[in-house]
Each structure stands twice: as C-alpha cells, then as structure tokens.
Chains A and B, each alone.
Chain A
Amino acid sequence: MPDLRLEQVTFAYPGDVRVFGPPGLTLELKAGATALVGENGAGKTTLTKLLNGLLRPTTGNIVVAGQPVAERTVAQMAALVGYAFQNPDDQLFQRTVYDEVAFGPRAMKRPAERVAVAVKNALERCGLSQEAKTHPHDLGLPDRKWVTIASALAAESPVVVLDEPTLGQDWAAKGRLKALVKSMVDSDRLVLIVTHDLDFVAEACSRTVVLTRGVIRYVGPTISAFADEGMIHEAGLDLPSTTRLGLALGFQPVPVGEGAFLRAIGSKR
C-alpha cells in the first residue's frame, strides 16, 4: 500500500534554522489525493523534500510505502516518490522534453519498452505529445511545469508529490490537472499536492493537511477543514470561492467545491 508515515520528525536547515521543532511532526497518509496547505514559509516544501530523502530529518522516522527513508538513497527513493518541483528550472536539465521525462525511469534501469510506454503515456496526459523533441527551456513556464508533472507520472511511483502544480496554469489546464489527479487516485496512488490554490483543493483533494509555522494544524477531510472558518483564517488561508459563496447564501452544510455547491442550491430550490 502506498502509505506514508512521519513519526516525531524534527528538522533544521544548517545554521540552526529550525523548521520543525520538538515534539516533531507526526502524520499518516494513505492512498488518495491530499492537499498540503499553509502560508509561505510554513514548511510545506521542506516537508515534501524529507519524503524522498533530499533532506534528512534531525530526529524521527519517515516510512514511505513500507520503506524507511533513512536507510535508502535519494536514487532508491526516486522509484517510490515521483516529485514535481515548484520551480521547474530546479529540475529540468535534459536537452529534450522526451529525455527529461524518460530520465527518471531510465535511471531506475527499467526495461526500455516499459520506459517508452510510460513516457508516451505521461506526455499524452500532460498535453506534451507535440513537444517531445522540444528543448524544455524553449517552453513557457506553464508548459515547463507540465514537463515536471509528466516526469513524476512517468516514474510510475506509488507516491507522487506535486509542488504548486497550478502555478501559472490557465483554466483549461487546471481542468486537465484535476482529471490527472483523479486518474492517479483511481490507480491507488498517494498524491500529495502542495498548493495555495484553494479552489483547486476543493475540486481535486479529498483530504487536507494544514501546516502553520512548522506545526500540523489539521489533518482530515477537506470538507471539514473548510467548515472551520476560524482555523482557516488563523492559518493565513482563505475559503474556496464555492464555500465563501455558500456561507453568504446560508447553505448548510457549507459546500466545498462546485459539485457540492450545485447540489446545495438544487436542494434549496
């Protein structure tokens, strides 16, 4: 099962810049789409980099898909955690989009045939089939972002981390992304989405983790997270548009997402 467990994890950057102090983060997630939300500087990206061994905790244990991260190399973890960085330029270094997306599975020494199928599939689903031979840096930011997402897909890992996937994406692309997350969830993967886009969270993530200044403030269903308006505002977040509108219209229970909003208005009429 692609599950993920953090036990009393503390972490500080060199120079004693503490992100997660004692008693440390304890968190358990299962397959499905989980949003990781919180203010700039809350520790969201740091947390995700602990999952694939890019950063190592000061104390505590992390187990991903049954594997203790402390005993694995970053290369070994890459097969378990596909990762799309927030800034694509931190990640992209191959000469073509195809090679970029194929880099992970090739490095994992997967059979050429399987790599070819995975890459083709990932490019297709990310709308990049026409760009296979393009140099990643000739693409605009939103498309470079899609290349990182395609790379995470092609790794066929049980856990996928998407850091700010909606950044710079237009309306149509967000719809495509939502469908992609759903299909990953349907194939029983654990998708962790770091984002400030709360409308996207409302549409695509059934569970939410709220992080504030290095402390987990909430873990649970997305619906209940946004029902607690006080907690959301304290965490420096906002309500999804559908929830805010539902509240103003006096809908009970408070709708989260377009589907819930339309059901609420349907039952009122």
Chain B
Amino acid sequence: MTAALTMRGVRYRYPDTTDYVLDGIDIVVQPGEWLGVVGATNAGKSTFCYAAMGLATEFFHGRLIGEIEVLGTEVRRQTVIERSTRVGMLFQNPFTQVSGARERVDDEVAFGPENHGLEPALVKARVAEALQQVGLSELRDRHPLDLSGGQLQRLALASLLAMHPELLLLDEPTSQLDPGGTKELFEALSRLHAAGVTIVMVEQKLEAVAELCDRVVALAQGRILADGTPARVFNDAAVQQQVGAPIYVRLAESVGLPSPWPTTFETAVRAFNA
C-alpha cells in the first residue's frame, strides 16, 4: 500500500534565513492514520504541514533537502493546485483560507469543486454534504465574512471536504473555536477518520491529541523527539519537559502515582480510583 506521506531526511529553511526549521525528519504516515503533531512554539509544526502540502517549496521557496512523497508522488513533481484535489490543508488562521471572491457560504464551499471542473449537480451535492459534516447547513446563505471565527474555521474545513480529500493536513484546527465548536470539529474529524481519511493534525490541546490520535509525533527544534502511541510519547520525560503532556500526566505525577501516567480521561479515572 502506498504511504499517505513519507519524509526522508527532510531539512528545510525559509529564504534569507540560516536555521533549518525542519532539521532531519524521517517519517512514514500510513493511509487511514490519525497523526497528532505536537511541539513547543517554533518547533517546526506549521512548516511540517507546509512542506507536506508543497507550499514550503512552491510558495515560500526556501531550501528543501531530502524527499517528501505525498500519496506516492514526490512533492516537487506536482503543483499545489494539482495536489489539492486529493490533499486538503487547513491553516491556523481561517481568514487566510477563504477566497474572498464568494459572497455566500455555500458558494465559497463550491469554489474548489467548480475550479476543478466538477459538474454542477455534483458540486451542489458535495457542498450540501460538506456543510452538513461541519454543521454549517443553516448558515449557507450568509456572507463568509459575517461569520464568527469559529464558524469561519468550519467553513474553511467544509471547503476542503467538498474535494473529498484522502489526506488532511490541519494546522491547529480548533485554535479559534469555542468548546462547543471544538467538540463539533473533532466529531467531524472522527467521522472522516472512521471513513478512512488520513489526518495529520497539529494541535496544542494535548488532551484532545491523546484521546483522538492513533499516533503522536513530538517535534523539537525541527527534529522528531518522540514518535509512537499517545500513551508512550506523553510518558517520555523529554517530551514532558519540552512539549508538555495532557494535564492528567501532571496530576498523576504530583500525586505520586507510579508511571506510566494516564494520558486520557478514562485511564486517569481508573488510575486515581485504584
């Protein structure tokens, strides 16, 4: 089976800079995996997404060393536009994402499919499905810029989903959302995960990463500090120190429970009850 994303010896630096923001990344993400990418500020998390989307080379330029394959194709052998039929990237700030050219929420979602030449009837069906997946069906006739930050984030996700992507690259998708919106977005992602979509998600909410992701990669200074199950990665002392861990880890450690410490709500309840 072709990997969803492969990086071999990847180093990348932005133009006019000397430091490599990614500094030796080796990783293979299998189809259907939900990978959480965590790390301190400036660890290279967003750049990891830009590199996988091909934006690092095509938009920012800069210097890329090593190989990146996305769904079996070397990233430099395809344009971002070509890639965007199968790979969707959600930016941290949804204002960067909306086209600005469309005056209705549903037209905004239709933008991608229309530009890739889908038939009108199919576009319409895709738009309705995507809006429903993110819970925005009722706001379909609103102007995108009249939406709240959280609604705009979900609109940006709907625009990606309308393309039926096989791989989603999400850069802190819930950073603008309230608790209700966060829950809705994670539920939408869980359904996509169940349907086999590969998800690479940069996220600061470490509790959510531990609950949802199959696998976690912790980055520090552009390198992989740890890679494995959430339970394993968040019990790694270096990760705890440089990246942090779900709050349950800190509580269990403070109370003096024996390690490995719990990383999810359910395991925490069991550990503290024991």
Contacts and interface: CB of A to CB of B under 8 A. Distances in A.
B269 A249 contact: yes
Contacts of B243: 170-171
A48 B137 CA distance: 30
Contact of A245 (B175, B181, B204, B265): B265
Interface in A220-263: 236-238, 241-242, 244-245, 248-249, 258, 261-262
A172 B40 contact: yes
B272 interface: yes
B183 to A, nearest CB: 8
Contacts of A245: 248, 251, 265, 268-269, 272
A216 interface: no
B272 A242 contact: no
B31 interface: no
A244 B265 contact: yes
A100 B136 CA distance: 38
A266 B255 CA distance: 8
Contact of B251 (A140, A168, A262): A262
A170 B269 contact: no
Interface stretch (B22-30, B107-115, B146-154, B188-196): B146-154
Interface in A115-150: 140-143
B76 to A, nearest CB: 25
B149 A265 contact: no
Interface string B232-274: 0000000000011101101100110000000001001100110
Contact of B207 (A40, A87, A241): A241
Interface residues of A, number: 34
A172 B245 CA distance: 11
Interface in A43-62: none
A99 interface: no
A168 B255 contact: no
B106 interface: no
A12 interface: no
A241 B248 CA distance: 8
Interface string A210-223: 00000000000000
Nearest to A166: B204
Contacts of B273: 249
Given A262-B255, A265-B255, A39 B272 contact: no
Interface in A36-94: 38-41, 86-87
A41 B177 CA distance: 11
Contact of A40 (B151, B248, B251): B151
A168 B92 contact: yes
A143 B177 CA distance: 20
A196 B178 contact: yes
Contacts of B175: 167-168
A252 to B, nearest CB: 15
A40 B153 CA distance: 11
Interface string B144-185: 000011110000000000000000000010011111111100
A118 B267 CA distance: 47
A169 B149 contact: no
B132 interface: no
A39 B149 CA distance: 11
A192 interface: no
Contact of B148 (A41, A172, A199, A262): A41
B93 interface: yes
A161 interface: no
A198 interface: yes
A113 B268 CA distance: 52
Among B39, B41, B149, B175: residue with most chain A CB under 10 A: B41
A242 B251 contact: yes
Nearest to B43: A170
A261 B269 CA distance: 13
Among A87, A141, A196, A199: residue with most chain B CB under 10 A: A196
Given A258-B251, A262-B254, A171 B244 contact: yes
A17 B184 CA distance: 26
Given A39-B180, A40-B181, A168 B244 contact: no
Contacts of A4: none
Interface in B28-73: 39-42, 46
A193 B207 CA distance: 22
Interface of A: 38-41, 86-87, 140-143, 167-173, 196, 198-199, 236-238, 241-242, 244-245, 248-249, 258, 261-262, 265-266
16 contacts: A40-B149, A40-B150, A40-B177, A40-B181, A140-B41, A140-B42, A141-B92, A142-B41, A167-B176, A170-B204, A170-B244, A171-B244, A241-B207, A245-B248, A245-B272, A265-B255
Interface of B: 39-42, 46, 92-93, 95, 148-151, 172, 175-183, 204, 206-207, 243-245, 247-248, 250-251, 254-255, 265, 268-269, 272-273
Q: Which 6 A-B pairs have the closest CB atoms?
A: A171-B244, A40-B150, A238-B179, A40-B148, A236-B180, A41-B148
